[in-house]
Every structure is written in structure tokens, then in C-alpha cells.
Structure 1
């Protein structure tokens, strides 16, 4: 297993090579759709033989599923990192102390309502459709749904404990928020100008109601 490079051939460790393939497949899936992920396409992206990709992924469905997970986990870690960004961390000034549940959700809803989130929204829509016919992908979609809900639940629970949010069950609220996000992103293939006005703030205002907050509390300042 080698990789072409300027002047010499470099052997890569199996874990590195496999990770490289999943990352390449994730890029294809985000840009063009999961249907476009094939062993040949990933091999072409990496400049290797398709047999090498097939060695690591004898079944293309496994590569598609792992590519979906890779792309959505990268987005989740960006939107709701395990460790909140401290002062000076990335993102706009949202009018709340960095790292607090309020700041975290203001950033989260600002980013998920922007067109920057469109490619990931399309990927989710694409994956949910294909998962009807691909059991391996379906398992990954369910796992990612649970992970996203748990990250949202953690922020909700922290906000309730801090006295910023009010809700009866953080898990139920987290599920409802994720469903609201999914509901709005179902229209992601509609042009941005046509969908923006009616639903631009729907998820944020729904979350404010769920969390017992006045309208506009989670809006970036």
C-alpha cells in the first residue's frame, strides 16, 4: 500500500490510509451526494487504485455510511463541541459569556440557520432517504441522531441547572429541537431566497418557547 509523492513512494499506516479514504468519501458526499461515493471515485480522488479502496471497504455501503458519520460528526463538533470554546474562541460575539449554555445556543442557532449549514442539511436529507434501502447507513443515521440529541440535551440540562432555561425534561426538549431543525432543513433544496423569510427563525423561536425564554433571547446580537 503506497502513495505517490514527489520523488518517492510513501507507505502509509493502515489506520491513516483508511481515515484518508473516509475523509475523501465524506467530501464527495457533502459536495455531490452519497450516491456519488463509489470505490472508483474515492480512488480517483486519492490517486490510488480502486482495488486498494476495495481492500479496506469490500462493500461500498460501509464506506458510504462511514463517510456520512465522518461529515456529520465534524459538523456536530463544530456546532456543539464537547468542550465549549473559551474567551477568544472562534465565532462571533453573541452577547453572552463564552461557554455558557445561552452563548452556546445563540451560536448554534445562528450557524444552523445560515446557508453555511446547507451542505450538511442536504447530506442528512440524502442519508435519510437512502437509509430506507441501505441497512448499514440506517444504523449510522440512527446513531448520529442520538449523538446530536445528547449534545443538545447536555446544553439544555446545563442551562436548566444554571437557571437560564426552564423545561420539564431536557431529553424531550432536545429531541423536539432536533426535529424542528430537521423540519426546516427538509426544504434545503428550495432556493435560499424562497425559503429564508418564512422559516429563517422558526427553529430558534421554537427553541425559545421550549426553553421558557422570551422571543429573541437566542438571537445573535
Structure 2
């Protein structure tokens, strides 16, 4: 059973108001862009609400109109990061399915290039992502996106091999998602060369895992 956010935690971390007009949306984008820039500049140090407001060119009061605290800002950034993955994976389903193993390997490489960029450009958000994973009250936020990603990996495999059973495709999707994410987190804590080498290893593991199920020459 998945655990939902408890009411107190949800209220404490949810944005105070949702932007319904273009002007409000632009203000929220300014706040989030400023927070992202600061997290990239400061590394593991969490930016203060005041620093975020100053970088966004807003008063602290204006920031508090939309977010109750800096944690809510970082959480919204994490949501946006998580929500970018389904679209990247879905791109692989929209193209013609590969007809041999080499074509499939090329498709995997394209996916790794796109998803690696998301990790590398947002490395400063990884402590937030890990905090979500380790917090029983916040974990449902990541579960929601994990389920989407697993389903898309399964759909991609069935796009390649329509005869692949749902249960097998889903199981493979879980392994692809979990192994890919954990290994990349490890790589990000090292240097760029180590990240690239680990990513190559993950790609090799993926291909070894799924190729027997895809009926490709």
C-alpha cells in the first residue's frame, strides 16, 4: 500500500496559491529559476528564502505569497525535475521501433544522453530528491513519478516487442528505473569521468537485461 502525504506535511509544503494568471505564473517561474540558480551555485548549501527573493528581484513577502518556506520551493523544483522524465522516455515510443539489436542500442544511447543531461544539469537538486526518498511522508511524491516512469519503460519495451507480456515488461521497467537512478546518484557524488563510466556500465546492464526479451536479431 502506498502511503499518502499526511495532512500536516502536505499543508506545510504545498505552494500557498496556485498561479492562475500568466503574470502569477511568471512570478512563480522567477522564484523557481532563482532557487535553481542558487542551488547550482551553492552546491549542498540550501539557499535562504531571502537570497531566493533577491535573486528573483522580488520582496520576501512576494515569495511568501506563493510558498510558505524554502523547503516548499525546493520541493516544487524537485517535482519539476521528476516530471521531465516521462516526456523524455515517451519520445522513444513515438519513433519507429528498432528492427535489430544495433538499432535498439542506438535508441538506448539517445535515451541515456537525454536523461543524463537532466541529472548533470540538476545535480544540486539530488540532496532534495534523496530526502524525498528517505522521508516516509514525502516518498509518495516520488512514487507518483516512479510509477509513470516504470509504465513508460514497459510501454517502450512492448513497442519494440508487442508480444512481451505486461508482467514481464513491468518487472523489467522497475529494474531499469531503480538501477539507472541509484547508479547515477552514486556517479554524481564522484567526478564527471566516474559518472560517465558508471553510466556506460548501466547502459551495458540494461542491454544485457532486456535484449533477451525483445526478439531482435
Task: Normalising by structure 2, report the TM-score.
Answer: 0.66
Query: Which residue of 1 is the match for residue 143 of structure 2?
Result: 142
- 1:110-125 aligned at under 5 Å gives the runs 110-112=113-115, 117-120=119-122, 123-125=125-127
Task: Tell me, yes or no, if the aligned pair for 2:154 and 2:169 is still in contact at 8 Å.
Answer: yes
Unmatched runs of 5 consecutive residues or more in structure 1: 1-10, 88-94
The size of the alignment, in residue pairs, is 188
Shift of 1:64: 1.5
Query: Which residue of 1 is the match for residue 189 of structure 2?
Result: 189
Query: Which residue of 2 is the match for residue 55 of structure 1?
Result: 65
Higher helix residue share = 2
Alignment deviations for residues 15-66 of structure 1 (CA, whole Å, 9 cap, x no partner): 3322332343344445545752432222112101011000111233222211
Shift of 1:146: 2.5
Shift of 1:109: 2.5
Unmatched runs of 5 consecutive residues or more in structure 2: 1-20, 97-101
RMSD: 3.7
Task: Normalising by structure 1, report the TM-score.
Answer: 0.65
Q: Report SS of the residue matched to 2:25.
A: helix
Query: Which residue of 2 is the match for residue 80 of structure 1?
Result: 89
Task: Tell me, yes or no, if the aligned pair for 1:26 and 1:68 is still in contact at 8 Å.
Answer: no
Query: Which residue of 2 is the match for residue 15 of structure 1?
Result: 25
User: Cα–Cα, structure 1 residues 125 and 51, in superposed 2: closer, same or farther, change >3 Å?
Assistant: closer
Higher relative contact order (CA 8 A, sep 6+): 2
Task: Tell me, yes or no, if the aligned pair for 2:34 and 2:52 is still in contact at 8 Å.
Answer: yes
Q: Report SS of the residue matched to 2:180.
A: helix
Task: Tell me, yes or no, if the aligned pair for 2:154 and 2:166 is still in contact at 8 Å.
Answer: no
